Structure 1
Amino acid sequence: MRRLLLALPFALLPLAIAQAADEHDHDHEHGSLGAHEHGVGRLNAALDGQTLELELESPAMNLVGFEHAATSDADMAKVAAARAQLEKPLALFSLPAAAGCKVASQKLESPLFGDKPDADDHDDDDHDEDAKGGEAHHHDHSEIHAHYQFTCAAPGALTTLDLANIFNTFPATQKIQVQLISPNGQQGTEVTAKSAALKF
């Protein structure tokens, strides 16, 4: 399922993050290149033929307002609400109806969801984290990962990707760093609530 995203130029991502950190928060540069920066999410997007893959990674703080295990009823309700929103990717990513996209698969991962027993296992860098380069497992304790694959009947209608609904739904998210591969090439960019759309 990750074959499209494996082609992403991950080498560009630390540069974009480092530049953003230079402009904004110097205190976030302590060795991790801002990989886990509150208010900042990451989106990998790849369009190949009729297949669109989107992979969203975000600190839990951006989506639910905390990073600890949900134990109170109020916290569990926030986690359930965030998960319910993430389970509606067609609405969340505002995919144009003309493209005729249907969800082929979706996978949500976070220790907060309680459905991935090995999420906080200390051996987790021995298995599926390696498929993503291994760098993410240090932050898994407080990250939410959402991976979607769509089949689009008219992919030519996917001219833009509008992330406004993500900012509206999760207002603690201030910016999203995007890596995008499409038939027109690849680009790395950063979107904010005020400028939430990018061109394929």
Structure 2
Amino acid sequence: MRHLLLALPFALLPLVAAQAHEAHEHGSLGAHEHGVGRLNAALDGQTLELELQSPAMNLVGFEHPATSDADKAKVAAVRALLDKPLELFNLPKAAGCIVANQELQSPLFGDPAPEDADDDDDDDHAPEAAGSTPAAGAEHHHDHSEIHAHYQFTCATPTALKTLDLGQVFKTFPATHKIQVQLITGSGQQGVDATPEAATLKF
């Protein structure tokens, strides 16, 4: 499912390194900052892949295991919203995109640490400090629960994908104040920060 996104850590290493450096300067790990999410997007032919990573706090409002009925209801509601990516990402109808595959992962959903956590940690060099063992990586992600959503779309008319509108993501999850986007298309790659005031990105 992630054949396009597998190339992202390598293709975007300079961008990731720059973001990680900036985050370290501000006293943050960069990988887990409340109010900030990350989106990797890759468009190749008729295939569009989106990978959204966010601290659970941004989407659910907490990061502890959902034990109360109220917390479980919040987690279920957020999962239902994430299960509708065509609405969430407001893809142009003219592009004729359909969901070919999707996967949601989070400790809050009862999942173990995401299988690509090692890739993420390698990018921002977090695990070296904690000892780069899978156990240490899993521990880190349970201390700071994240929600990872992977989507693969098949688009009949990819030329109609002129923009990626994240406005609905910000409206749906108002605790998200910024999304760090890394975008790869046939014409190159770009890194940009999307905000509620500047939520539309050009492919």
Q: TM-score range by the shorter chain?
A: 0.7 to 0.9
- Where do 4+ consecutive residues of structure 1 move more than 3 Å? 17-22, 127-130, 133-139
Q: Is the 8 A contact 1:63 1:170 kept in 2?
A: yes
Q: What is the CA–CA distance in structure 1 between the aligned matches of 2:116 and 2:21, rounded to whole Å?
A: 26
Query: What residue is the counterpart of 2:59 in the other structure?
Result: 63
Counterparts of 1:10-159 in structure 2 under 5 Å? 10-11=12-13, 12-19=15-22, 26-28=26-28, 32=29, 34-114=30-110, 116=111, 119-120=112-113, 129-130=117-118, 132=119, 134-135=121-122, 137=137, 139-141=140-142, 142-159=145-162
**Number of matched pairs:** 184
CA deviations over 1:43-73 (Å, ceiling 9, x no partner): 0000000000000000000000000000011
TM-score under structure 2 normalisation? 0.84
Counterparts of 1:156-167 in structure 2 under 5 Å? 156-167=159-170
RMSD: 1.9
Q: Is the 8 A contact 1:164 1:196 kept in 2?
A: yes
Q: In percent, how many aligned pairs have the same letter?
A: 67
Matched, 1:188 2:191: yes
Q: What is the CA–CA distance in structure 2 between the aligned matches of 1:103 and 1:186, rounded to whole Å?
A: 23
Query: What residue is the counterpart of 2:4 in the other structure?
Result: 4
TM-score under structure 1 normalisation? 0.85
SS of the residue corresponding to residue 27 of structure 2 reads helix
